Amino acid sequence: MPDDITALYRTVLAKEKGTIRKDWGGKVSVALAFPNHYRLGMSNLGVQIVYRILNQRTDVVAERFFLPEGQEMALYLRSRGPLVSLESQTPLSNFDLAAFSISFENDYPNVLQMLEMGKIPLLSKERPEESPFVMAGGVASFLNPEPLAPFVDFFLLGEAEQNLEPFVDAFLESGRQPFKRRDVLLYLAKNVPGLYAPSLYDVAYKKNGTLSHFTPSEKDVPEKVQAVHSPKGGFTDTGMPLSCITTPDTEFGSRVLMEVGRGCGHACRFCAAGYVYRPPRVYEEAKLHEGAREALKRCSQVGLVSPAVSDAPGIEEVIGTICHNGGRFSVSSLRAEKLSGKLLEHLEESGQRTITIAPEAGSQRLRNIINKHLTEEQILGAVRMIAGKSDFSIRLYFLMGLPTETSRDGDEITELVKRIKHRMVKESAARGKIGRIKLSVNCFIPKPFTPFQWFPMEEVGSLKKKQQRLKKTLVKSGGIVVNSDVPKWAYIQALLSLGDRRVGTILKGAHKLNGNWKKAMQLSQINPDFFVYRPKDLDELLPWDFIDHGITKRHLQTEYRLALEGRLSNICKVGECVRCGVCHEND
């Protein structure tokens, strides 16, 4: 390994607190790979949880890998050396396991790039016996792993706190046997809950291109792979979920990240996290206080992580404890109807200058279709409270291209934002200063295991026109910043979200063409529009139907129909209903 890479990594490590270094002797070696840059990977609490769980074991050594960038990537390209670990600068190919933690479909191409830089054959069927096993976990992989199926030896589906320890035990046991690679896959698939090895399943297609069957090719390999989730209580034997490493070189600075809840019970029909992390779990208030005190011992800044931070029990008191002990906190987003004056006071005290709320749609009709449980009155009430407290800027999240969306629904985004601005001006008049309004407008992408999985994505050209119209109208109002994603990249994300394993050929083509997706799709025998723009039949076999998250397909179909009728359904009431099947199965 060139000295300049080693020196660069030592500089990175010198800024960290909590890095774990272990002797390799007699241990299974795991390369914990995050397929994006260091600053994003170290901001991911899931990666930190896995790193801690693995290294708590005396029979495992886990070291980190990230996608190189900037000067680091230039050094690799110049030296043509293999990708090496951060902790000991050991090549990726020297590890027993290359374990990818994948949160976003857009990172799938980076998996291939890191494998190539690590000198590991891209296709699992081409790897020699001595090659590391390539595995993957993370929420993107247990929504739909199929586009990565040709490249990954096996996936671990579900939450790390529950499935990682049994997996490591079984992997160690397989190493004590005279097994070849396929024998190891068979042993793991038969003995580890939540483990899916794509090569052990036969897939066939109908003449119309849809799946005809998806079945195990070996005896005792499960037909349905059950994703393993944490218990309803949410608190596990692995301890309160806190980041174990802090460093200034992250999206959150040196904050200690603390999970205050997992999953979300508000049941928005577009949101995969709200379905595959069921039942939603919150930590007991006493545990939250305990976690906050532990975090403050290490850093004065705490980042609170949850899809719905304001749902955590006693969250105002927990935040108050942080502030009263000289600490500061930050939150990602808050539900408009859960805002309170006390919460806003603490946010101001902590120096947070932007409050994020997510109307998602401009019209009440569309908010009912997506099951948002949010009225315009509640949105404007939250804005009045925010603007009345301080000069907070407000970030608003909207989705564009939602099912049944019309041009009138788009116009209602504009009208709602104008009313929000008017309310902010009115409430801020006494101070003579108004916070800015920032819009983040993203294209709707159908996600597996949601009621919207059967809907197509809106065409790219149409989305572009809607974005341009919205920006043109709102910019004239002044004081409003509009940011939107790029529809052509949203199309790629939808392809990777909804595709089956045949999409792997397009993914490989784009990799070989240095990211030229347009050419890769043109050269492919597979029509990507088939996956992105085609409405699915409710009785169609979908690429991810072999995964069992406990949610019944009948429940998703019911929610799909309610959406078309514009009707709301109840939020999750854990333990009080069995509508979706999850609580029934867990009881």
> Which residues touch 42 (CB under 8 Å, ≥6 apart)?
48, 245, 247, 249, 250
**pLDDT confidence of residue 340:** 87
CATH topology of domain 353-497: Transcription Regulator spoIIAA (3.30.750)
Q: What percent of the chain has pLDDT over 70?
A: 97
Q: Report the C-alpha gap between 29 and 161 in whole angstroms.
A: 19
Task: Tell me: pLDDT of 232 over 70.
Answer: no
- Burial string for 3-19 (b: 16+ CB within 10 Å, else e) reads eebeebbeebeeeeeeb
| pLDDT band (50, 70, 90) for residue 231 | low
**pLDDT confidence of residue 576:** 82
Single-letter amino acid code for the residue at 442: N
Tens-digit pLDDT profile for residues 381-398? 999 999 888 888 999 999
| pLDDT band (50, 70, 90) for residue 586 | very low
The residue extents of the domains of the chain are 3-226, 353-497
**Bond into 446 cis (ω within 30):** no
**Which of 257, 277, 251 minimizes the C-alpha distance to 265?**
277
Tens-digit pLDDT profile for residues 302-315? 999 998 888 888 88
Helix locations, 299-375, DSSP H: 315-324, 341-349, 364-369
**pLDDT confidence of residue 32:** 98
Q: Report the C-alpha gap between 201 and 195 in whole angstroms.
A: 13
Single-letter amino acid code for the residue at 17: K
Average pLDDT over residues 446-450: 98
Q: Report the C-alpha gap between 265 and 311 in whole angstroms.
A: 9
Across the chain, mean pLDDT equals 93
Q: Report the C-alpha gap between 539 and 557 in whole angstroms.
A: 9
Tens-digit pLDDT profile for residues 172-210? 999 988 999 999 999 999 999 999 999 999 999 999 999
3-226 is classed in which CATH architecture? 3-Layer(aba) Sandwich (3.40)
Q: Report the C-alpha gap between 86 and 37 in whole angstroms.
A: 12
**pLDDT confidence of residue 2:** 65
Average pLDDT over residues 461-476: 93
| pLDDT band (50, 70, 90) for residue 1 | low
**pLDDT confidence of residue 585:** 46
Burial of 307 from C-beta contacts in 10 A (0-12 / 13-18 / 19+): buried
**pLDDT confidence of residue 577:** 83
Instruction: Please tell me the pTM assigned to this model.
Output: 0.95
| pLDDT band (50, 70, 90) for residue 234 | very low
Q: Report the C-alpha gap between 447 and 104 in whole angstroms.
A: 12
